[in-house]
Chain A
Amino acid sequence: MIKQSDGIGLSAIISPENVIFISGSPSKEEAVRQLTEKMLPRVDGLIGRKALFERVAEVEKLNQVLESGFYIPHAKFPQLDGFQAVLGIIPEGFTDQATGLKVRALILLLSPHKPAFFQRHLNMLSLLSQTFQPELIDKLAALKEPAAAAALVTGK
């Protein structure tokens, strides 16, 4: 049985160091690419550049923008022991071609590819989609600093 309530908070995965602001109105692929670049040093020694980009690109085809306008490209890697995340904020936003929704915040989430971790992976996806509602995204888009964005998201 996989249970959702396991007490993981967003502060465990979001800090000023893994928040980036993306200027202009990039394509979805470009936004994900920038988040992957930012992710690379965080998984250095565990996942190679090629493997990371290829896997993210592969699973990105299956991921969908949520109705709230929030996007969570996510992938699982057996080399990881915990979550790794990069939050991207795009004040101007981009329009998702598949859904027609305007995306101004997205988070690249990497999770351990281990059966026992799948419950926490689902819990995290649920928590992220619950947290990043249109009101919060509006506020994030108005910010300039990663630290302020991390504080707003984590409530600290």
Chain B
Amino acid sequence: MVPNPRFKQVFVLSTAMLSFISFWKAAAIVLCDFGSSAYYSGGIAMRAYGPAFPWFVLGVMLFAGVMLAVYVESCSMFVRGGVYVVVRHAMGKFVAKIAVSSLVFDYILTGPISAISAGLYISYLAKSLLEMAGVQFPFSPNILAVVFGVAVIAYFWKENIKGVKESGDTNVRIVLFVAAIAVVLLAWSFFTIYVRGFTLPPFKLEFSEEALGWSKHISWLQPIGMIGIFMAFGHSILALSGLESMAQVYREIEDPKVPNLKRTAIIVFIFSVLFTGVLTFLSSLIIPAELVAGEYSENLLSGLALHLHGPYLARLALQILVVISGGLILMGAVNTSFVGANGILNRVAEDGILHDWFRRLHPKYGTTSRIITMVAALQIVIIILSRGNIFLLGQAYAFGVLWSLVFDTLSLVVLRFKETEIEREWMFPLNIRVKRYQVPVGLISVLVVLLITGVMNLITKPTATIAGLVFTAVFFTIFQVSEKMNEKKAQLYKPDEDKDEELNLRREADIQTVVPELTKARRVLVPVRNPNNLHHLTEVLETADDETTDIIVLSAKIAQGIQSGGESMSDEDKEVFSAVVLLAEKYGKTVKPIFVFSNDPFFSMAQVAQAAGVDEIVMGVSGSTGAEVQMERLAMAWGMLKKPDAPAKPVLARVVWEGRQMTYQLS
């Protein structure tokens, strides 16, 4: 359809289609972070407390199911949740800043540990291949891993500066490939056990000197009994890293949100138990114990591939595939560390606790390049300082993982008493109703486990404790200072000239350029104006079938005598868009936001509706004119723009308000 040439065209600003992802994709995104620990957690645990490691890694993976359930409750309360938001609601900004500092520590360490682990797998493979070829080339896998790690960080730094975002499709492909390799490893391992028989690993804790940390100097804190179990659990807890990704991805999950989140959690849980838990366990049954502690402590799954029952070349081929799959998922985790750290720091920046200097957009790519560069610089420094020692990195990594989980769980407990009215679509089990409170016995039990483990980790991991506390203190200070500076700035507030870019708006020649993006059979136009009057949009989001319906959300700004196309959005206009985005995220349904400048909102409404060939127009009631006048204006605008030869497609117009609606069929 060609725009009606007789009338002045509206100026159109458009954002990308707000679309949502399936639980499969969400699970793949989480697993690219969470699943990657399978490649290094077993080796780190073995070095810490000896041959009982498979029991604890399996135990931690089963505990992951509990933590996933904790995250399901927190996500069901806050669409844009995560540790920072949950802690802020429960205990205020001060504690939230501490919690988010430890979470940033977790995200920043995800990059080095993943890049080093991938580098170690590649280095050991190269060593095997060189030895097989009879080439004597002595090199240190750890130094090669450092070089590789720095190169990987540099690559993802560049990609993230350019704004290459995590693609759900890429994650799905990586996870499918990794899953295929895991299935081969599992099947071949069971075959090997069937042929060779097996002996269960001893449930005996043999802590290394390094793994006892300061506890050596505390006479009553001996690594035996429950104390030993918690110490060992603490040394395995790094396998839980990546759970925060589920909170970050929740806003992108499609309708129905909470049921799909539960499905995501179940997939992540099953994959993690089988991939990390069971494969680590099988490794201990198949690889001789001395090799687990030695040659394969830094590349456990390669060791598993090489010690399966079968021809050497087949095992070597499987090792190559294990290294490729590990490389892919671990590099996916490196990218997640950039996206996650950047996302979280942007979130806190929106809340005014990170100075705008960090948020300055890259002039060419429009990304928050200063945050990305800071993350990359810290990761490279950590890689160089670690000298490729994955055990050291693993120790430090557990600090951020554990304390962010402690703060998240503690906050949920607090919220059960503080926010009794807030909607919870799902609650962590084991609750006792006392008056208006759901006393969270289950959550409190989880919190106790996490707290004891956290305290044990503080004592047994001196390097991690010092590094984690220093890092947390530095970031906390940055947040504190930033907040004070932003408070001063707020008093001298000046409008930001670059706000359009932050919303990632693009200027369209006319409405026709937006139409090809609409691909579903049914189209509904929802005009919006007031961020506090979106009842009609809520009604559409609640009832529309996302599979078959495109929801176009139109915000028309009245601009008299517009001519130039140089108009820009005000903060109030952006508030409307933000409210729309939040609602779409809440319901997980695809919406296409369009912002137009027009001297008549009903004219632009009819123009967009006719250009897009909508089936329905759903308006909210106007407090100033009322539904009848709205219908009259729409009818006039519709008739004025209607072409005599236009197909007589019936279009339903509705004005919706609390408990009532008025309908009219345009044709």
Would you call A130 and B642 a contact (CB within 8 A)? yes
**Alpha-carbon distance A53/B667, docked complex (angstroms):** 33
Residues of A within 8 A of B642 (CB): 126, 130
Which listed segment binds B: A1-9, A84-92, A145-153?
A1-9
Interface of B is mostly: mixed
Are A5 and B636 CB-contacts (below 8 A) given A62-B629, A68-B7, A122-B631?
no
Would you call B665 and A67 a contact (CB within 8 A)? no
Would you call B667 and A72 a contact (CB within 8 A)? no
Residues of A within 8 A of B637 (CB): 66-67, 129
Identify A67's interface contact among B635, B640, B663, CB under 8 A. Answer: B640
Q: What residue of chain A has the Cβ atom nearest to residue B642's Cβ?
A: A130
- B203: interface (CB < 8 Å): no
Interface of A is mostly: mixed
Residues of A within 8 A of B295 (CB): none
Residues of B within 8 A of A62 (CB): 625, 629
Are A2 and B665 CB-contacts (below 8 A) given A67-B8, A129-B639?
yes
Q: What residue of chain A has the Cβ atom nearest to residue B643's Cβ?
A: A130
Q: What residue of chain B has the Cβ atom nearest to residue A131's Cβ?
A: B639
Q: Give A42 Cβ to nearest chain B Cβ, in Å.
A: 22
- A119: interface (CB < 8 Å): yes
- B666: interface (CB < 8 Å): yes
Identify B560's interface contact among A74, A99, A128, CB under 8 A. Answer: A99
**Alpha-carbon distance A22/B648, docked complex (angstroms):** 36
Would you call B639 and A126 a contact (CB within 8 A)? yes
Would you call A4 and B666 a contact (CB within 8 A)? yes
Q: Give A126 Cβ to nearest chain B Cβ, in Å.
A: 3
**Alpha-carbon distance A1/B628, docked complex (angstroms):** 14
Within 8 A of A (CB), among B555-587: 560-561
- A123: interface (CB < 8 Å): yes
Identify B664's interface contact among A68, A119, A128, A133, CB under 8 A. Answer: A119
Residues of B within 8 A of A72 (CB): 636
Residues of B within 8 A of A119 (CB): 664
Residues of A within 8 A of B644 (CB): 130
Q: Give A104 Cβ to nearest chain B Cβ, in Å.
A: 15
Task: Render A117-143 as a binary contact track against B, CB cut-off 8 A, 1 for contact.
Answer: 011011101111111011000000000
Residues of A within 8 A of B667 (CB): 3-5
Would you call B666 and A1 a contact (CB within 8 A)? no
Residues of B within 8 A of A125 (CB): 632, 635-636, 639
Identify B640's interface contact among A1, A3, A68, CB under 8 A. Answer: A68
- A48: interface (CB < 8 Å): no
Q: Give A9 Cβ to nearest chain B Cβ, in Å.
A: 14
Residues of B within 8 A of A41 (CB): none
- A100: interface (CB < 8 Å): yes
- A64: interface (CB < 8 Å): yes
Q: What residue of chain A has the Cβ atom nearest to residue B607's Cβ?
A: A67
Q: Give A102 Cβ to nearest chain B Cβ, in Å.
A: 13
Would you call B636 and A129 a contact (CB within 8 A)? yes
**Alpha-carbon distance A72/B648, docked complex (angstroms):** 24
Would you call A126 and B665 a contact (CB within 8 A)? no
Would you call B665 and A118 a contact (CB within 8 A)? no
Identify B663's interface contact among A1, A100, A128, A134, CB under 8 A. Answer: A1
**Alpha-carbon distance A133/B8, docked complex (angstroms):** 14
**Alpha-carbon distance A24/B667, docked complex (angstroms):** 38
Would you call A122 and B633 a contact (CB within 8 A)? no
**Alpha-carbon distance A5/B648, docked complex (angstroms):** 10
Residues of B within 8 A of A66 (CB): 603, 636-637, 640
Would you call B636 and A100 a contact (CB within 8 A)? no
Residues of B within 8 A of A118 (CB): 628, 631
Residues of B within 8 A of A70 (CB): 640
Would you call A122 and B8 a contact (CB within 8 A)? no
**Alpha-carbon distance A2/B667, docked complex (angstroms):** 11
**Alpha-carbon distance A130/B635, docked complex (angstroms):** 10
Q: What residue of chain B has the Cβ atom nearest to residue A122's Cβ?
A: B635
Supply 7 further A-B pairs (C-beta < 8 A) apart from A4-B666, A122-B632, A126-B636. A3-B667, A4-B635, A74-B632, A118-B631, A122-B631, A126-B666, A128-B639
Residues of A within 8 A of B (CB): 1-5, 62, 64, 66-68, 70, 72, 74, 99-100, 118-119, 121-123, 125-131, 133-134
Residues of B within 8 A of A (CB): 6-8, 560-561, 599-600, 603, 625, 628-629, 631-633, 635-640, 642, 644, 648, 663-667
Top 9 closest A-B pairs, CB basis? A126-B639, A130-B639, A129-B639, A129-B640, A122-B635, A129-B636, A126-B635, A2-B664, A125-B635
* 27 sampled A-B residue pairs with Cβ under 8 A: A2-B663, A2-B664, A4-B635, A4-B665, A4-B667, A5-B648, A62-B625, A64-B633, A66-B637, A67-B8, A67-B637, A67-B640, A99-B560, A100-B561, A118-B628, A119-B664, A121-B632, A122-B631, A122-B632, A126-B639, A127-B639, A129-B638, A129-B639, A130-B639, A130-B642, A130-B644, A133-B640
